[in-house]
Amino acid sequence: MKAINGCSMLARRTDKLMRQRGVALITILLVVAVLTAIVSRLSLSSEVWLRQVENSTSLAQAEQATRGAQLWINLILEQDSNDFDGTTDIWAQPLPPIPVAWGELYAWIEDMQARINLNNLIDEEGKLDAVALLQLERLLEVLDLDPRVAQAIVDWIDPDSDTAGPWGAEDIFYIGLDTPYSAANRPLADTGELRMVRGIDQQTWDTLEPYIAALPGGTIVNVNMASPEVLAAMMTDRGGPRQVMTEAERWTIEATRLPYTSAEDFAERALGNKDSEMPRGLTIDTEFFLAHTLLTFGDVEYRMATLYHRNRGNASIINHTRELF
């Protein structure tokens, strides 16, 4: 009997010991799991932190290189010493990629007076410029867009609350939208604002954007760099925009081959009469340029658009913005 009781006690002790060891094992496994999770979290946090530091460093390097590129482009614009701006000028040539410590820098310069300046629609006194409106309507027509959209663009820019026509749109129209807002009633700071204007959907914007600019009012178009569509819109006294497309295309081809160097040169070569005058709103030189810079380092791209104004040979930066693609 004592032997039996001893075995029973031993069994109970063994069972208790096994349960204790089981609990201890489970506790150890839980501790290991928690520690693993903590270490993984710390590792992830460290990786995120390191990546943030790396991105911040890359961004700082990109901004520094961009400032250098802006100064470089400034010098290029100031070195252009002739009296016209065309495809043969140094600023219009493809700029070679420049190697930097961590990648490459690309840059190209665009003549912004090759486009129609929408801020010409309203003069310094806040009044509508009827000729500028006609030119915009003609541009819309030649691009197969609704010319009536021009009325809504006028209302977005002009300072009053009166609609410019049946297709005009002031606050009363925009406040009634699902997401209400007000008309700007000031000159455009950026053409991207047009995506908020009545009648300008994504397709209209994509078609129109390459031909328009938002510059300080009073600019004219450089015939040496403008597209046939822009020239056809500007030639208001030579027939409808579609009718003058052939003539506009001829001017463009001629300017690409050999830029017009003066108003007299344009009159003789383009108009066939050296005594003719340069059509209203056209010129052979430019004051406003947009420089695009692209920095690539690894999988990272940093793009900047910088608007320059050049006056009497001196170039200065008006503004610059990040470009998103």
pLDDT for 85-136, tens place per residue? 999 999 998 888 888 767 888 899 999 999 999 999 999 999 999 999 999 9
Question: Is 90 exceeded by the pLDDT of residue 158?
Answer: yes
Residue 11 binned pLDDT confidence (cut-offs 50, 70, 90): low
In a domain, 129, yes or no: yes
Burial of 17 (0-12, 13-18, 19+ CB in 10 A): exposed
Count of structural domains within the chain: 1
Q: Report how far residue 283's alpha carbon sits from residue 287's, in angstroms, rounded to the nearest whole number.
A: 11
Question: Is 90 exceeded by the pLDDT of residue 4?
Answer: no
Identify the DSSP state of 196: G
- Check residue 64 and give its pLDDT: 76
pLDDT for 196-230, tens place per residue? 999 999 999 999 999 999 999 789 999 999 999 99
Instruction: Name the most confidently modeled range: 27-41, 138-152, 268-282.
Output: 138-152
Contact 252, 228 (CB under 8 A): yes
pLDDT for 19-37, tens place per residue? 555 555 565 555 445 545 4
Give the helix/strand (H/E) hosting 10.
helix 2-79
In a domain, 170, yes or no: yes
Residue 46 binned pLDDT confidence (cut-offs 50, 70, 90): very low
In a domain, 82, yes or no: no
Average pLDDT over the chain, rounded to an integer: 84
Residue 44 binned pLDDT confidence (cut-offs 50, 70, 90): very low
User: CA-CA distances (angstroms) from residue 251 to 114, 138, 227?
Assistant: 13, 18, 9
- Check residue 23 and give its pLDDT: 53
Q: What is the CATH number of the domain that holds 195?
A: 1.10.40.60
Instruction: Tell me what percent of the residues of the chain surpass a pLDDT of 90.
Output: 56
Q: Strand, helix or coil at 51?
A: helix
Q: Report how far residue 271's alpha carbon sits from residue 212's, in angstroms, rounded to the nearest whole number.
A: 25
Identify the DSSP state of 148: T
In a domain, 178, yes or no: yes
- Check residue 70 and give its pLDDT: 84
Q: Report how far residue 294's alpha carbon sits from residue 301's, in angstroms, rounded to the nearest whole number.
A: 7
In a domain, 44, yes or no: no
pLDDT for 50-59, tens place per residue? 344 445 566 6
Residue 85 in tokens: 């701006």
Contact 318, 307 (CB under 8 A): yes
Q: Strand, helix or coil at 43?
A: helix
Domain range for 150: 123-210
In a domain, 167, yes or no: yes
- Check residue 217 and give its pLDDT: 79
User: 236-257 burial, b for 16+ CB within 10 Å, e for fewer?
Assistant: beeeebeebbebbeebbebbee
Residue 321 in tokens: 């913005």
User: 77-104 burial, b for 16+ CB within 10 Å, e for fewer?
Assistant: beebeeebbbeebebbeebeeeebeebe
- Check residue 133 and give its pLDDT: 96
In a domain, 194, yes or no: yes
Structure-model confidence comparison of residues 103 and 73, the more confident one:
73
In a domain, 193, yes or no: yes
